[in-house]
Structure 1
Amino acid sequence: MSTITEPPPSPIPLFTTVKAYREWRRRAYDERKSVGFVPTMGALHEGHMSLVRRSLAENDLTVLSIFVNPAQFAPHEDLATYPRTLPKDIELLMAESFNDTNTSTTRQASGIFLPTANEMYPSGISQDVNEQKGTFIEVKGYGHQMEGVSRPTFFRGVATVVTKLFNAIEPTNAYFGQKDIQQALLLKRMVRDLLLSHPDPEHVHIVPTARNPTTGLALSSRNAYLTTDGHKVAPTLIQALQAAEQAWGEGLTKAECVQKATEVVDATKRRAQAEGLNAEMKLDYIQLNDSQTFEIIEPQSSKADISHPVILSGALWIDKTRLIDNIILGDINTVIG
């Protein structure tokens, strides 16, 4: 199982082995150049590019990884059909640049780390956790809430692959999107707990979610799975979260906020049925969690009862596509930095 077969011709250096990349990285060390890192599974879109722009602006060199990680897909999930669009990804990266007026230089992506599954998992890898062998990373006590309820092995796979990527890339700075807020915060904690230096916790950056400017839909590679009718109802999730956000700001309880969000989803279902749209919607969850512990906020709690920010998040199935999104209730800067 591998991410690619034959890499296409590319003006951006492609590194398919850790050894080849580390030779390049040593030169960057010798030249005292900072390296920004954007880990991805490919199928790049504007959300990824917002991370790339941030890295280009803040680092001498920028490296992306493109690796569809088997360890974060459960056996029933969409590993085989996950979109793989490497030639298009390279084109997008080539079109992106940053003009540094201080040095009168233009920066573009410096390299793509493009490993196979065998390179990343020398002991082999299975999507079935019970069949896996080798070394894996868990962040105890922080992965079973929120997304972890629906995807119980997901964060084990994420923590493992990102640890490997950090060890291989040795980035000065790393960039993650707020759309995957639990993942990003968990990785900041992991970096701190494992005493990593490349990057250290202060240099794991969380970048606000990139959205469709018209609908507010959070950009995701999985949006490519949506049908035409699916796209019409896809903004329902952020609209539901915004209804809960407004209710929270008005002092309603957590239970009442969730109810407001659920009503938005139910109303869209009725409208879609009345309009004859072919898009089956199923709400996975709407939840409010403590931004520090991820523990669920009590049903009768309200804004007046909690002094620090709360993560309002949700997941919505549209046909076979699962959308996720979140809003930070409170001072977002104290959460994403």
Structure 2
Amino acid sequence: MKVFTARDLTQSHILDLKNKGLTIGLVPTMGALHQGHLALVKQAKENNDIVVVSIFVNPTQFNNSADLEKYPRTLEDDLEKLKSVNCDLVFTPNTSEMYCNDEKAELFNFEGLDKEMEGKFRDNHFNGVGTIVKKLFNITSPNKAYFGEKDFQQLQIIKKLVEITKQPVSIIGCPIYREDDGLAMSSRNMRLSKEHRQSAPFIYKTLLQVKELSKKSSPSEIENFVIDKFNNHHNLVLEYFSVANENDLKTANSFHNLHKQRGFIAVFADEIRLIDNIAL
């Protein structure tokens, strides 16, 4: 497994591989890797000749500087995990390598996808995501790139980014990887206190109830149900819950066969923000 920190060396090495006719699969990450990330790598290994994993904590997608500072950084452990799943190349740049000391996000027209749900609470977040993913695509020239469905809104926005920038890469969404108790795997989970970690599976349990309720109740009735559930929970604070269409992420007023819909949720466990979603 090769590890590069310089973008020009990474770019030239991957170009050599592509000139040999090899296909490239990219898994962009911010490190603090867990089994969900490794599942993406395994999927990429099945579909491509070479798998590249990027590890970079991207400053332009954080709205909260304290959250950026506290984001877990576990590079040595991450590299060992990637070796265990036969990753071929890891790109681990520093901030100046990616932004040349100008940490500003490019502005994109995501046609409203960035204004729903997460976008209502994290201003400019998706411009930051789009900026770094565009840079990574330009450096690694992947044939396919892999993203988890836990960040389903991000997945849809990355697909829109590719459409906007006309980059020749296929975006592959992979199922949410969960702990045995249902909690969606996230790098932020390692920051949970013991008490909040014990409470956090309540999020997925509620989403399972939402899935059942969607067979007989309206989206507004389900939203009220979720609000009541969290109002009565002493450890978790609901930021939002929304039933939305998968294609445009707009709030759904009813259930019908014209659109696939999901329940989306964001919850605070003390200061740790957790998101999840479920297909309905």
TM-score by length of 1: 0.80
Please say if 1:157 is aligned against 2:128.
yes
The residue identity in structure 2 corresponding to 1:43 is: A
- Would you say the 8 A contact 1:44–1:89 is kept in 2? yes
Report how far residue 261 of structure 1 moved. Answer: 2.2
Please say if 1:148 is aligned against 2:119.
yes
Matches within 5 A, 1:108-187: 108-122=86-100, 124-125=102-103, 132=104, 135-187=106-158
- Give me the CA root mean square deviation: 1.5
For residue 115 of structure 2, give the secondary structure of its aligned residue in structure 1. coil
Match of 1:262 among 208, 224, 227: 227
- Would you say the 8 A contact 2:95–2:101 is kept in 1? no
The sequence identity of aligned pairs, in percent, is: 33
Structure 2 residues not aligned, in runs of 5+: none
For residue 83 of structure 1, give the secondary structure of its aligned residue in structure 2. coil
1:325 to 1:70, Cα distance in 2 relative to 1, 3 A: same
The CA deviation string for residues 50-73 of structure 1, in whole angstroms up to 9 with x for no partner, is: 101101111111000000000000
Q: Match of 1:91?
A: 80
- Would you say the 8 A contact 2:106–2:128 is kept in 1? no
Q: Match of 1:45?
A: 34
- Would you say the 8 A contact 1:282–1:316 is kept in 2? yes
Report how far residue 85 of structure 1 moved. Answer: 0.3
- Would you say the 8 A contact 2:4–2:10 is kept in 1? yes
- Would you say the 8 A contact 1:236–1:268 is kept in 2? no
Larger Rg: 1
- Would you say the 8 A contact 2:106–2:127 is kept in 1? no
- Would you say the 8 A contact 1:240–1:262 is kept in 2? no
CA distance in 2, matches of 1:17, 1:164: 13
Matches within 5 A, 1:180-195: 180-195=151-166
Please say if 1:288 is aligned against 2:243.
yes
CA distance in 1, matches of 2:91, 2:151: 22
Matches within 5 A, 1:218-297: 218-249=184-215, 251-269=216-234, 280-297=235-252
Report how far residue 265 of structure 1 moved. Answer: 2.5
- Would you say the 8 A contact 2:6–2:97 is kept in 1? yes
The CA deviation string for residues 208-261 of structure 1, in whole angstroms up to 9 with x for no partner, is: 000012x10000000011011011100111112111111112x21111111222
CA distance in 2, matches of 1:123, 1:230: 37
Structure 1 residues not aligned, in runs of 5+: 1-11, 97-107, 126-131, 270-279, 330-337
CA distance in 1, matches of 2:258, 2:31: 38
